[in-house]
Amino acid sequence: MDSIFYITIIFVFAAALISFIIQRWALDRCLKHFRDFHVSVEQEVEDPVWGELTVYPGGIEILYSEARSDDSGNTETSYILFEDQMEKITAIERYHEELDEEDQARRLKDVNSLKKRGLFKKLGRMLRNLSNAFKDAISQAMGLFVSQARGKASSSMAKSQDAGIKKIGDETLGAVGNRFEPILERYIGSKVIVEAKNGDVLARHEGILKEYSSDWIELLECREKHETYFLVSDSERLRLNRDIDFFLRWIPGGKKGRRKVKAVFHCRIRNFSDSSIRICRLEKGDYQHPINLEIEPAEDAEFEVKNLPADIFSGKELPKIEHTMILESPHRGEHQVIAESWLPEVNLVIEGERVLDLCLPRARAVLRHGGPAA
């Protein structure tokens, strides 16, 4: 009887320990490929959030490259979404031209692992899929094995052990794999078309199917033309972009003789991509300033804005002195490590064709068309 009691205690603590380990380390198979990369998280209604992605078993955190202030002046360094809040995400985007050399190499290594799958990797994936297909059977077999090993025991202790075994089996099997779907499995490494719904809009994304899980589907090498939101105060993101250089200048207002001169935000943009881009507008909340400026490849253009509201600056007032900032790609300019607090916290919306990788929520997205191997 004493040995049965101690066995029961061991199983209770074993279940708790395994549960802790799984909750600490088990990550979604798609999201973990985007971990520690700079990404843009698109959400319904709200503005996109850009930063370095940290993935947890119960949610995600986007670490800002530069601290920013909210409407009340409080400092924010990250944006957190818990698991029950992630349903409002429409896409997680990883733009190729925003990756530095280290991240490019890390991404390429991950992509090559898809193209060069050896025997052991294929066998491991087959075993993982097999464990999902026979998940209930494996869990029940573990219970039967322990029941046979423990022999006779009181019904209360037996039930306690059964509960512990079931918890161990379910959480372990749930962590090592995801739902096995033969159709999606067939197109791993192939070009596919995924349809994703965002409100009343149905978008088509063409790319290489990298991975899928119960909640997400991952695509590589998508080439799409759409609007991208660049937060002007996030100088790190502007600098990282290899296709666009930004030259920013602030000229404070004042008096010239009897004439009152308005403050001016001046921006010159140079296009290094192989396709044209359109500078659409500046916007934040209710504020919107149309620009509609087309820039062809290898060309640049500039615009001025004289009516920026004071509350879109971090200090909630217009800067008093003149400032200039050059944000060139690391391939062309030097890295500036000092954040410039004078930059307005407003979104610069640019439309153009970009190459990106995508994580799309399965609740909104479905693989609609298969295609050839990549």
Query: What tokens appear for 94 in the block?
Result: 């990883």
Residue 91 reports pLDDT greater than 90: yes
Predicted confidence at residue 373, as pLDDT, reads 86
- Residue keyed to tokens 């029941």: 147
Residues 320 and 244 in one domain: yes
Tell me whether residue 223 is in a domain.
no
Strand partners, 293: 279
Centre a 10 Å sphere on the Cβ of residue 28 and count the other Cβ atoms it contains: 23
pLDDT of residue 133: 57
Quick one: pLDDT band at residue 67, thresholds 50, 70, 90? confident
Q: Quick check: 60 pLDDT over 90?
A: yes
User: Is 8 inside any structural domain?
Assistant: yes
Closest CA to 29 of 149, 124, 102: 124
Of 225, 223, 237, 203, nearest to 347 (Cα)? 237
Residue 2 CB coordination number (10 Å): 6
Give yes or no for residue 2 having a pLDDT over 70. Answer: no
Q: Is the pLDDT of residue 8 over 80?
A: no
Q: How far apart are CA 78 and CA 300, in angstroms?
A: 33
Residue 115 counted as domain residue: no
pLDDT, one tens digit per residue, over 263-291 is 999 999 999 999 999 999 999 988 999 99
Same structural domain, 340 and 274: yes
Report the alpha-carbon distance of residue 363 to residue 10 in Å, rounded: 40
* Position 257 in a domain: yes
Mean pLDDT along residues 118-134? 63
Residue 281's domain comprises: 233-345
- Please provide residue 229's backbone torsions phi and psi, each rounded to the nearest 5 degrees: -95, 120
pLDDT, tens digit, for every residue of 288-319?
999 999 999 999 999 999 989 988 888 788 99
- Which residue did the predictor score with more confidence, 137 or 357? 357
Same domain, 8 and 147: yes
315/185: higher pLDDT: 185
**Residue 233 CB-density burial (10 A; 0-12 exposed, 13-18 middle, 19+ buried):** buried
Q: For residue 217, what pLDDT is reported?
A: 96
Residues 17 and 152 placed together within one structural domain of the fold:
yes
Q: How many domains does the chain have?
A: 2
Query: Does residue 99 lie in a domain region?
Result: no
pTM over cut 0.95: no
Residue 258 has pLDDT above 60, yes or no: yes
Give the whole-angstrom CA distance, residue 322 versus residue 325: 11
- Is 244 in the same domain as 144? no
Helix segments in the chain, DSSP class H: 2-25, 101-115, 119-133, 135-150, 155-176, 182-186, 235-240
Q: What is the 3-state secondary structure (H, E, C) of 189-226?
A: CEEEEEEEEECCEEEEEEEEEEEECCCEEEEEEEEEEE
Rg (C-alpha) for the chain, rounded Å, is 26
Q: Are residues 324 and 246 in the same domain?
A: yes
Q: 160 and 264 share a domain?
A: no
What pLDDT score does 128 carry? Answer: 64
β-strand 277-284 against 49-56: which pairing, if any?
unpaired
Residues 269 and 334 in one domain: yes
Q: Which amino acid is at 333?
A: G
In this structure, what is the dihedral angle of CA atoms 150, 154, 159, 165, given to the nearest 10 degrees? Answer: -20
| The pLDDT value given to residue 199 | 81
Same domain membership, residue 145 and residue 21: yes
Query: pLDDT: is 15 or 94 the higher one?
Result: 94
In the predicted model, is pLDDT for residue 219 greater than 90?
Answer: yes
Q: What is the mean pLDDT of residues 55-73?
A: 85
Indicate whether 317 belongs to any domain. Answer: yes
Residue 274 DSSP one-character state:
S
Judge if 18 and 128 occupy the same domain: yes
pLDDT interval class at 358 (50, 70, 90): very high
Same domain, 244 and 320: yes
Q: Is residue 221 part of a domain?
A: no
Among residues 129, 118, 110, 114, the alpha carbon closest in space to that of 34 is found at: 110
- pLDDT the model gives residue 55: 95
Are residue 170 and residue 237 in the same domain, yes or no?
Answer: no
Residue 161 lies in a domain: yes
Task: Say if residue 53's pLDDT is above 90.
Answer: yes
Mean predicted confidence (pLDDT) in 32-44? 94
